[in-house]
Structure 1
Amino acid sequence: MTHDSGPGDTGFPGAGEYGGGWGSAPQWGPGAWPPPPPPTAPQPGVVPLRPLALGEILSGSFATIRRHWKQLAGVILAVQACVLPVMALVVGVAVAAVHRHIGPVFDLPPGEEPAAEDVVALVVAACVVLVLLGLIGLLGMAVLAALCPAVLKEAVMGRPTSFRALWRATLRRAPAVAGALFLTAVIAAFPVLLALAVAVPVMVSAAAADRATALLGLPPVLLLAALPPAVWLTTRFALAPAAVVMEDAGPITALRRSAALVRGDWWRVFGITVLAGLLGSAIAWLIQLPFNLVGSVTLVAALQGVPEGAGPSAGAVTALVSGLLIAVLGGAVGQMFQIGFTQLVSSLLYVDQRMRREGLAEALLAGLATDQAPTPQPQPQEPPAGR
């Protein structure tokens, strides 16, 4: 039977529903010592319900992709089908709005300067397009970041799900995930922005005093100094999207939950996240490689078939379009795997940290036992004795 989560069903107990609450140790009874672990931890889904090792996190992510690839691919394709045309429309509208200013800026005779109004129009249009594309990309990434925790909470419990249920759960939490991603980006970018705020005025004043050469190394030094705090903050809030989806938390609450779960295990979370990114990139490249080879061979064959000085034939145009489509398809498939895999690893890190700190495994086992308990059947009542 397909599990269809309702609006209030998160699938995971929230903070404080089991154990000690916000990242504190669970209460195990007198003595506060945990009971000895069972010889073999129960595994109703893709991972055993106990603190996870690195290999179990990676294998659990692969197992989730293998079991739910249709639902994952369906949602990712639906997101790309919505996001990419909207981005293309934004760029097309912007180009159409400023097309009369493009020639006076980029197609000028040598030595002639473009008019100020043409330059301003292009700069304003470029800024608006960048902002709109950034917002659209953030919304698309928020849907994908909400997708993986939504499917993982079913995969951990061994429950099936459907595209419809997954799509509804993902869209319901996508705005909050977008808020968490935006706040994370703003907070993590603050050290870099602070470094730029110091470096730019210094460079401007030095240029005015003809001392710019002596201070050319200042911006790189400041940016390098700002990089470690930015990475530290990004890792500290890396589990926020999973908290948003699995606990129905708001953006700020999710950032606090992520910070509490990462505290004390920053290097472990950072190392596994980096390893997952490298592994996902390598596998995505391997996925794209045959597509790129076939597309390149098709393009070369089409170009060689065009006679010198003659226009391309219909067959050559068809081959060119086919080669480009094959290469684009390979890139889309590789990107789908990379995004899905890295987000699943991040979500499993969230599950692992909660099992280590908050007794989530025991809470999930209790809920699973309740779900599997047989429903008591009503006993037939004896008819009343006749008078």
Structure 2
Amino acid sequence: MNIDEADQSELIGYLLASVVEESNLQSFTDKLVSLCDDRIVVALRRIDVLTKCEDVAGFSGIDADSIDSFVNYYASRNAYQEPLTRIPLNAPQFALAHVDRRAIAKSEIYNDWKRPLGLGIGGLAINVARSGRYVLSASIEMSDALEEAAGRGFEALLGRLAPHLATLADLNGKAWAKGVSAALDTSATGALLVSHVGRVIHMNEAAERLLWITGLNVDAKGKLCGATPEADGTVQAVLGDVLAGRSAARTVRVKDLGYLGDIHLTASRLPEGARRPAIWSLAPQDEPAAVIYLAPDHERARTVVPRVRAVYGLSEDEAFMAFFLYCGTRLEDITKITGQHPYEAQLLIDRVMKKMDAARYADVVRRVGRVAASV
């Protein structure tokens, strides 16, 4: 395959244009196939090393039915996949240098998919980007005879294109990050972006901090969960209502035993226009469907405390102490937050109860609760 400067410029142009319109990646693979006099198959794939599934960004040189059978069946049974996802980045590799030829000769993908298409037992691939879960791989499949005669030329070609493919992956990731996730990243409130099945696909730093110190967590399946059956039931019910379209948004109070107090969780459905990230990127592939906002009771203090001060004539320290009592914060945790000695904290509590005409802590909780409900 001989590619002149004009052909290479056209190929790179397709890659850059795909940042705006992803279908240009198919034009890229079509162009590569058209430049070869012999039959080759060119694919740009995103491989999920956990599920073994593969998403296709561009696939040319075979018919649509063969592509569908690969994506929907053979990709998850691909005997080449595991060894080839481990090859170094930006280094074109021949498949037979990493797999057992005898095992491949007996494999389903070779006998039922590659061989009927006239493709050889080998092939050539290059990995251009990798995360903990995904690998972006470009590959060229050909007959055994063509690989023997022209394999080194294809190897050099993939080597020249690799930097441009890596740049595209980076651009696509940044383009997505500047979209819906960027708004979350600038928020001081904990926020998580979830897919239509409730899987967390992005969270900001504030949310990461809250998950570290509260009873909420993201489980092995990527779902937001509560630490207790009651808390988890609340989270799943609210998120289920919003994702199913029964509510545009819902806010609930999730009981939490940590020193930050209970968590106020708001789930809000995103507009349908929130777009899915490009396949040729290391961004999560789930379409964003909703945002979950997390605000512990102590964050709500910013709005509730000024009102408590105004209603009951408390000092700022006294109003914060009343709010701590409302949140159910233990005395030892209050002293950690405020830096006070336990004796000083108790004296402050006594002043609060006197000014609020409260005989018991429960009276303080009830009075602050009425104020909190109005803001």
Asked if these proteins are the same fold (TM beyond 0.5), I'd say no
| TM-score w.r.t. length of structure 2 | 0.28
**TM superposition score normalised by structure 1:** 0.28
Q: Which has the larger radius of gyration?
A: 2
Between 1 and 2, higher relative CO (CA 8 Å, sep ≥ 6) is seen in: 1
More helix by share: 1
